[in-house]
Amino acid sequence: MVQILGKDVGHTGFGMMGTNTYHSPAPQLSTGCPTLTLRLTPSCPGLTWRTTIADDKQAFSVLDAAISNNTTFWNGGELYGTPEHNSLHLCNRYFTANPRHAEKVLLSIKGGGGSQPMTIDGSRTNIRRSIDECLRILDGRKKLDIFEAARVDPKVPLEETINAIAEYVKEGKVGGIGLSEVDAATIRRAHSIHPIAAVEVELSLQSPDILTNGVATTCGELGIPIIAYSPLGRGLLTGNIATSNDIDKDDRRLHLPRFAPEVLEGNARMGAELKKIAEEKGCTAAQVAIAWARGWSGREGVGEVLPIPGATRAERVVENSKMVELSEGEWE
């Protein structure tokens, strides 16, 4: 079981952004640097960031399932939706209706968006604006356990961004500091400024980069848990996608390079292979994929790994939360 900020959060978390319910092109997060534009594609917009927003009955059933299945690390964002309806608004309504659950959940929120849509601003002024807005929306219904800038702003010294968040940690308004989409050197530098509670990066069989670029081992060395978003490869590892015909024509994943028609079938083969393993084990391909990501915890110097698949249905949360163990042969 993974511990973050001294709290047990189970072996699987919940991503409040999503990959299977967008009906528009994947948004890009501009850093203001002409050579550095980032595509914002972590785990599940499902409940707040889509054309047709889930009503509270559906959304609450998903969150109830997460709590019932000990999926108590929730990863959301000020950017996951609109200023009027995002992860924070959903949390406010949910915990207003279910105050007894607030202490069970460790809530991590990404923020720091700039004044223009899909930009980042890591200045002290804007980080304070973002955190204040998060706290205003939560309105005391739920503590802001972790705050992380959605991306590192190359125009602002890292010290300014981290120290701005640290002010709120010292005041007890925020529990800890997270990092998102960073390299090993940035993790080390940020941790020297203030202890880092968690690092959010992509990890899956299709995106294993952190295992070779120093990020995973740096987190292991420093004792920082890894929050692994998109452990299902944005659906390609579920075994339910073989061709573009298996994806709604309005699904924003079709705008991602790995879903391009000329490479999609090849990329989907891994999901088909996982499905074969899953059938032999009596589980699902998604559970095998999540188990693979989780299985890196403590291996080869890697830190603890908490996969955070997203979901828009309660039954999917239940599926994703089921603990599946892989044999050495299966894992490799």
Q: Residue with structure tokens 């309806």? A: 85
Question: Which member of 22, 80, 168, 229 is catalytic?
Answer: 80
At residue 295, the pLDDT reads 95
Alpha helices in the chain (DSSP H): 56-68, 87-97, 124-138, 158-170, 184-193, 215-222, 261-281, 285-294, 314-321, 328-331
Q: What is the mean pLDDT of each run of 10 residues along the chain (332 residues)?
A: 95 75 41 38 43 76 96 93 87 97 98 84 97 97 97 97 98 98 98 98 96 98 97 91 80 81 84 93 96 96 96 94 90 73
At residue 298, the pLDDT reads 93
At residue 31, the pLDDT reads 46
- Concerning whether 80 is annotated as a catalytic residue, the answer is yes
At residue 253, the pLDDT reads 80
SS3 204: strand
Q: Residue with structure tokens 């968006």? A: 113
Count other C-beta atoms under 10 Å from residue 123's C-beta. 17
Q: Which two tokens stand for residue 200?
A: 């959010």
| Angle, CA 19 vertex, CA 185 and CA 219 arms, to 5° | 20
The residues pairing with 107 across neighbouring beta strands, listed in sequence order, are 74
At residue 247, the pLDDT reads 81
At residue 241, the pLDDT reads 85
At residue 331, the pLDDT reads 75
SS3 31: strand
Nearest CA-CA partner of 78 in 8, 126, 11? 126
- Binning the chain into helix, strand and coil, the percentages to the nearest 5 are 40, 20, 40
Indicate if the alpha-carbon torsion angle 139, 145, 151, 154 is positive or negative: positive
| Angle, CA 310 vertex, CA 103 and CA 308 arms, to 5° | 65
Residues 28 and 138 sit within 8 Å (Cβ to Cβ): no
Residues 6+ apart with CB under 8 A from 83: none
At residue 301, the pLDDT reads 96
At residue 52, the pLDDT reads 55
